[in-house]
Amino acid sequence: MLTESFVLFNTEISPGYRRMRLLVSEAFVRKAAPGRFVMLRVNDSTDPLLRRPFAVFDTGAASDGAYFEILYRVIGRGTAMLSEKKKGDILDILGPLGKGFSLDDSAGEKLLVGGGIGLAPLYALARKLREASSTVRLFAGGRVRGDILCADAFEAIGVECRFTTEDGSIGERALVTQPLVRHLESLDIGATIYACGPEAMLRAVAKIAACRAIPCQVSLESRMACGIGVCLGCVVPGRRHSVRTPDFRCVCAEGPVFDAREIDWKMSQ
């Protein structure tokens, strides 16, 4: 679906991070399931040529109409251009695209693990899980305090949050996997893990889940160009990959959310 949409706000929420709300149709909101993403054209000209992918952060309805939000980090040219958009500017959106999180209805706890901007797809997921009355815990990690985004929004919907930073400026001075492991060791009911963040964090979380036979879904953020499975620029090696029998998974069309067991984490190192 190709949509033209008005910017409702585009606010800096922490140094280098912004939250943008866009006016969209109700049909768009219905399709914007947690874990899916959009490809945004950040400029009217052909420079930069490629759209940039962003996860569904939140959707809803306000007085102006149905809306869709992204949470993003200003990291390069495309996101710098996006950061200059103002209320009333028009953005061209392709999406929602890809396969999102599977909402498993097992009784156990839902453990969300986010590193930095990896928190972006986890808020919409947390809302859906809380609507189904699940116990949801968030393990959010970053380098510094400013990387821990929208903590109040997670807490407001009843998510129990634990924070870690590398400098100890908020929460525990640790990697996000450390409180996760401690929590799993103390847990006497089942759990499902949903994770998004840097690849090294996802690899570690996948290993923790595999060792304990815990279901784990990961949202991958490989670099992508088309977003619709045509260019194959975003593929990652699948579990059965070998030189003789290539097994590549297309992050935009088959993901970005995968069962962590589907990915060959050794190959992606």
Ligand X SMILES: Cc1cc2nc3c(=O)[nH]c(=O)nc-3n(C[C@H](O)[C@H](O)[C@H](O)COP(=O)(O)OP(=O)(O)OC[C@H]3O[C@@H](n4cnc5c(N)ncnc54)[C@H](O)[C@@H]3O)c2cc1C
**55 near ligand X (CB under 6 A):** yes
**95 near ligand X (CB under 6 A):** no
Structure tokens at 52: 């940039």
- CA-wise closest residue to 116 among 150, 149, 155: 149
**203 near ligand X (CB under 6 A):** no
Question: Whose Cβ is closer to ligand X: residue 37's or residue 163's?
Answer: 37
List the one residue from 30, 77, 173, 266 that touches ligand X (CB under 6 A): 77
List the one residue from 67, 72, 123, 258 that touches ligand X (CB under 6 A): 72
Distance separating alpha carbons of residues 114 and 164, to the nearest angstrom: 10
To ligand X, the closest distance from the beta carbon of 18 in angstroms equals 9
Q: What is the dihedral of CA 128, 194, 39, 89, to 10 degrees?
A: 50
**53 near ligand X (CB under 6 A):** yes
**96-135 binders of ligand X (CB under 6 A):** 117, 120
**18-37 binders of ligand X (CB under 6 A):** 37
Distance separating alpha carbons of residues 154 and 49, to the nearest angstrom: 35
Q: Contact, 123 vs 150, CB < 8 A? A: yes
Contacts of 238-247 with CB under 8 Å at 24 or more apart are 238/262, 238/263, 238/264, 239/263, 239/264, 240/264, 241/267
**210 near ligand X (CB under 6 A):** no
Binding region for ligand X (CB under 6 A) out of 132-140, 159-167, 178-186, 218-226 = 218-226
By beta-carbon distance, which residue lies closest to ligand X? Answer: 76
